[in-house]
Chain A
Amino acid sequence: MKTGLFFIALLPFAAIAQSKQDTTIKSKRPLQEVVVSAGSFEASDRAKGASLTPIDAVTVAGSNADISQALRSLPGAQQIGEQSGLFVRGGTGDETRQFIDGTLLKTPNYPAVPGVPQYARINPFLFKGILFSSGGYSALYGSAMSSALIMESTDLPEKTSASFSVFPANLGAGFQHLAQNNKSSYGVNLNYSNQSLYNSVVPQVPDYFAGPAYADGNFNFRIRTGKTGMLKLYSNWSYSDVGMRKPDIDSAALNAGYQVRGWNSYNNLSFRSYLNNNWKMDLGAVYSYNREATANSLTDAKGNTAVSSLPYKTGNRTIRTDFAQARVVFTRFFSKGQALRFGGEHFYTRDKGMSNDSALALTDHLSAAFAEGDIYLAPNLAAKAGVRMEYASVLRKLVVAPRLSIAYRLPDASQFNLAYGIFYQEPANDFLYRYRDLNFSSATHYVLNYTKKANNRFFRAELYYKKYHHLVKTTPTLSNNGNGYAQGLELFWRDKKSVKDLDYWITYTYLDTKRNYLDYPYALRPSFTAPHTTTVAVKKFFREISTNVNVSWALAAGRPYYHINTHGITDQGTTKAYNIANLHIAYLCSFFKNRKWKDFSGFAMGVNNLFGTKQVFGYQYSANGQLREPVTLPATRGYFIGVFMSFGIDRTDDFLNNNL
């Protein structure tokens, strides 16, 4: 568990609040009878009944304060235990993009480490709205073939406050200051995480020689301007160092080492304001800097550097990425909840680096213009139609992506939704370093969805078909000759009513997908997809003992694995089923009864993979393909225990509003 501050957000489970009124600016958008919602889960701070709130979405046990891990408990996402990111409907992790206040969050997680998912950089409690689209999302967003995670940061906090958390591997402190006139605020948070002590108690495979250590500092400033304006600045600075070693699969006498260090700065500036009763303007700008230095090494038993005939076994690589984006969106409101949105954005990416002795460089300008209308057709029928144009300088290609969704409301207040859209994405930079004559990859989505929400219960079923075009192939040569499809059925059921103070949801995901991409000799079911997945999330608040118990369970059928070399597939099979349960318990209390210093505090503890089942995500092969070893969890179980505290506030979920 990266941040203890995460737990402070458990506190608002109480029904009765005693704080000041909220300081958010009310949306002027009129209420609509039908809300177009195909393909997405929306978690909003205005949720009613069994609709998701941001807290519901991110407090799933085992999520490690990472929004993309938390959302794995929703249908459409795969249970990928060996890397970060969100794998949606037959798509890779790269096909999901995260957006904060309209702009792209390019590197949401700390630099990747093979076989071990890395923490998210940004606390998921900074958001008052989270829209997880697993298909058919709005024309306002692009550059993601499978899924968009659209997050809206909180506005002003409710009060001035300070907080601390102490978990043996993680320390956190922060404060937030709200101006007397309730018009502006600023805050600073610091987190430091070092797993080495923990790892000496709970042995890990591989063996870490550096860290894992993560440090981040962030500050925010927000100010209301005029009657409806809100200007927000969020800046996050982080550093990480992870170095690990394990026996080399090709040479019994040697150890293979991997070390990655990362430096990152993420800066988001956004402004929104109504221009008059009918016009709204949203501006966003982001600049991020990311530097990653990785080193592969081989050492003998004495720790001396060894050499290998396999060149990829040793070497260094450093990449520095500067990324900037500017965006403007205008909204014109019309009667009956109709609206027209249009705008444009520009993405600038510059990569510069070295891989051993060869230089890597890439500069890309991606420009986009978009327009989208919310159209009222009848009291029970609404549509959202849009189009998006993108031009990428590195590809020298222009693409046009139409998007359409329709919602039809039935008399019993349940709803049918249909969505269609084309979604383009540039090939990953690693391919563009080598070869520029590539094209956009694309996916065409068709989604049919049914939802019914009533009496604190929520049922949702979704059918979809997705066709991939121009996926990147690496064999025989680098090209866009790949393709694929994905289709499936997803079910979601949430019930907050049946048992008092108990909230649970159950999901089922069926996925049929094949793709011919990278080095696949022909269309195969990708190794990151399981045909069947079921997840259960249960939360129970025991009022009498102020204790919150949170359980999550995920079960997925085995995933395929392949060993592919120039001769084709030399080994393949299906892993054993994935089965993992996580348990988190938080006890909430006050240490200081003195009224002036009233605190909201608690103890939290948790176990991930409670039953200690052995998980196999796939296999790593030796160079000759004759040996293989399973890719599994670094330790059978994960544990955490700690204490968190929040001072000087009436209500502790201020932390939700503390950043961004």
Chain B
Amino acid sequence: MKKLFICVLLVVVGYYSGMAQSGALQQAVNKLDQAQTVKDYQVLEKTFAGISEQPAWLPPYYAALCNAKIGFLLQDDGEKIEPFADRGETLAKQALSLLDSTTQKKELAEVYTVLSMVYRTKVFINPMTYGRKYGVLSGQMLQKALALEPGNPRALYVSAWVKYYTPRMWGGDKEQAKKLATESLQKLGNPGTDVYPHWGRADDQQLLAKIK
């Protein structure tokens, strides 16, 4: 009952705050929380790319995230990923350019996390040829994100993903992946549904279900 009340409250608050400042963005973010298929993300990517609301870095950030998500969903489809990855990279860089490097460290950490994911999807295009460059870039972006905000739960999730999927001899470690995903989940707590990045719960849970 209490949960339901909070939910209703959140929706109402969200609705009003949305009305007040970020109607379209908030709506799109709410939809993003439910998105699952490539199609969903493709539609949302267009929506985000068309929004011009404050804070200005959020629409390109979310559009980049949609492209990264599509890349992960298409990870066995090789070259099909490329246009999404390319657009994701452009959008993430656009979001970076809208942030202040001295005062907006947390926001930067969010964008670097997504950029790291975008580069990871470039590796999927062909690990043998793209892994060398983009695997490295992906790792560097993730380190940047964690340096800017050490406990960022989304950066922790991406670290967990990397630890889980890297073969053991290259430093992969499932136990470590479990620890990181659990930590990420704890940090997320109840992240709310605000427009500020709050995703990660479902991703952590999915990964943890695999490790079990």
Contact = CB atoms under 8 A, between A and B. Distances in A.
Interface of A: 12-22, 44-51, 53, 55-56, 158, 453-456, 496-497, 500, 543, 546, 588-590, 600, 651, 653
Most chain B CB neighbours (cut-off 10 Å) among A14, A53, A55, A653: A14
Given A15-B165, A16-B162, A16-B166, A22 B132 contact: yes
B128 A16 contact: no
B79 A49 contact: yes
Interface in B94-126: 123-126
A17 B136 contact: yes
B133 interface: yes
A47 B128 contact: yes
Nearest to A455: B77
Contacts of A20: 136
Interface residues of B, number: 30
B136 A18 contact: yes
Contacts of B136: 17-21
Nearest to B130: A48
10 contacts: A14-B127, A14-B131, A14-B170, A15-B124, A16-B167, A18-B139, A53-B126, A497-B77, A497-B78, A653-B132
A588 B169 contact: yes
A496 B78 contact: yes
B135 A500 contact: no
Contacts of A50: 78
B80 interface: yes
B133 A48 contact: no
A21 B137 contact: yes
Most chain A CB neighbours (cut-off 10 Å) among B129, B130, B172: B129
A56 B162 contact: no
Interface string B152-172: 000000000010011111111
Contact of A49 (B80, B139, B168): B80
Contacts of B139: 16, 18
B125 A17 contact: no
A543 B166 CA distance: 8
Given A48-B126, A589-B169, A590-B169, A21 B133 contact: yes
Given A22-B133, A46-B129, A49-B125, A16 B165 contact: yes
Given A15-B123, A17-B131, A546 B168 contact: yes
For the complex of A and B, the 8 pairs showing the least CB-CB separation, nearest first, are A49-B78, A456-B78, A17-B135, A49-B79, A48-B79, A15-B127, A455-B77, A16-B166
Given A48-B82, A455-B77, A16 B132 contact: no
A45 B129 contact: yes
B85 to A, nearest CB: 11
Contacts of B33: none
B40 interface: no
Contacts of A600: 169
A14 B78 contact: no
A12 B133 CA distance: 12
A651 B132 contact: yes
Given A21-B137, A48-B126, A546-B168, 8 more contacts: A13-B127, A14-B131, A16-B166, A18-B171, A22-B132, A48-B78, A456-B77, A546-B169
Contact of B135 (A18, A53, A454, A590): A18
Contacts of B137: 21
Contacts of A17: 131-132, 135-136, 170
B73 to A, nearest CB: 13
A19 B132 CA distance: 7
Contacts of A456: 76-79
A16 B121 CA distance: 11
B126 A47 contact: yes
Most chain B CB neighbours (cut-off 10 Å) among A16, A46, A588: A16
Interface in B168-203: 168-172
Contacts of B170: 14, 16-18
Contact of B131 (A16, A158, A455): A16
B164 to A, nearest CB: 11
A56 B126 CA distance: 11
A550 to B, nearest CB: 14
A546 B169 CA distance: 7
Contacts of B169: 14, 546, 588-590, 600
B131 A12 contact: yes
Contacts of B130: 48
A16 B172 CA distance: 9
A60 to B, nearest CB: 15
